Amino acid sequence: MSDAVAKSEREQEESNARIMTGNAATALAAQDAGTDVVAAYPITPQTEIVENIAEAVESGEFDAEFSRVESEHSAMAAVMGASQANARTFTATASQGLLFMSEMVWWTAASRLPVVMSIANRALGPPWNIWGSHTDALSQRDSGWMQMFAGTVQEVYDLTLASFRIAEDQDVMLPAMMNLDGFTFAHTMQPLEKLSPEDAQAYVGEIDIPHEVTSQNPRGFGAFTAGDNFWKFRKKIMDAMDNVPEVADQAFDELAEITGREYDLVHEYEADDADLVIVGLGTLAREAEVAADVLRKEHDIEAGVVRPILQTPFPEERFTEAVGDAEKVVVLDRSTSFGRGGIVTQDVKLALDQPVASVIAGIGGQNVEWDDMVDIALNAEPGKTQWFGGDL
């Protein structure tokens, strides 16, 4: 047994170090950020988020309005309405729930409202499946929501706070989707350091929506608009999206000043001198770091991992820089676009000037371990889409 410092419960309450699931960390981040209004509908594997918020609100620990709405479509409509009235808002869903919510997801972005939503990524049916896949979130990538993907419980806590900070920035004013893999992450306990609510709220700042709906300043929102003006609204969103990488970098710098933890638009592991780079989102790509270690040690291959933290807008420049001169690029893609192959692969292909090996892996509960990833990295063929479990 290592030299250990046992922590009594009292000591723990006084310190900010905890161990908890990705879902619990998400709920905690929403609370620490000073969210004012939550409306949510339960769906596996997100239910713990909603339940923890319910408990914290009922105990008085979390001072927010909380509505147990009757569907996801209503959940997004409700937080959208609250956000329009200048409240800090949060909701969470997954999979089918996100798709049922989709119309309002788009409505919220085009309304330029900085709602923050967590997605415990889950496969879409039929057939019914409750395990991880990124297709749900990525199906909304055109909507105007920025999207980040976390890989550890610490990351999901920190990045959820950052989501509020970035979304509410006057140069962005767009909603933010924070993604965590269902089950392998959402339900997995890992240690984290939290911020005090005071520090978290100082970091996020005061919410100030310029287009707040208020009788003090009566204006109409979203009314009929014709062709000479409609495109201007769309261009504004496009421009705001272009600001996200810079604002995110700044938000990460500010967070580092408070916590000492550094974040980047793209997370690199041993990618500097890598000849082979594995690309992926979330926990799959983090496990790939072990595969990279093994490839170096056992197979004499200089391998590394590039894991985008920000996926929408896709940080092309940073990503290309991270991949560098790697000869072989293997995408572990936990998503599918029928007719286009893996969704993450599309962004990777657009950014790079070389054939990419795309491997659809780990969807719907398919177990992909570090040693599988070693085999995949060795055998995947550039220029092709292959399926783990089938081709590989």
Q: Which residues bind another protein (CB under 8 A)?
A: 1-9, 12, 19, 21, 41-44, 47, 50-51, 54-55, 58, 68, 70-72, 96, 100, 125-128, 130, 152, 181, 183-185, 187-191, 283-284, 286-287, 289-290, 293-294, 297-298, 365, 367-370
Of 58, 116, 113, 74, the residue nearest 66 (C-alpha): 58
264, 300 Cβ separation under 8 angstroms? no
Nearer to another protein, 12 or 214 (CB): 12
Nearer to another protein, 145 or 269 (CB): 269
Q: How far is the CB of 179 from another protein (least distance, A)?
A: 14
d(CA 284, CA 373): 9
How many Cα atoms within 13 Å fall on the side-chain side of residue 163?
39
Where do the DSSP E strands lie in the chain? 17-21, 37-40, 65-68, 89-93, 116-121, 146-149, 176-181, 189-193, 266-269, 276-279, 303-308, 310-312, 328-333, 357-360, 385-387
Residues 6+ apart with CB under 8 A from 7: 15, 17
Q: How far is the CB of 148 from another protein (least distance, A)?
A: 18
Nearer to another protein, 19 or 350 (CB): 19
To 5 degrees, how large is the angle CA 103–CA 221–CA 116?
Answer: 50
Q: How far is the CB of 383 from another protein (least distance, A)?
A: 27
Nearer to another protein, 76 or 251 (CB): 76
| The residue count for the chain | 392
Nearer to another protein, 214 or 367 (CB): 367
Q: How far is the CB of 52 from another protein (least distance, A)?
A: 10
Nearer to another protein, 45 or 175 (CB): 45
Question: Which amino acid is located at 299 in the chain?
Answer: H
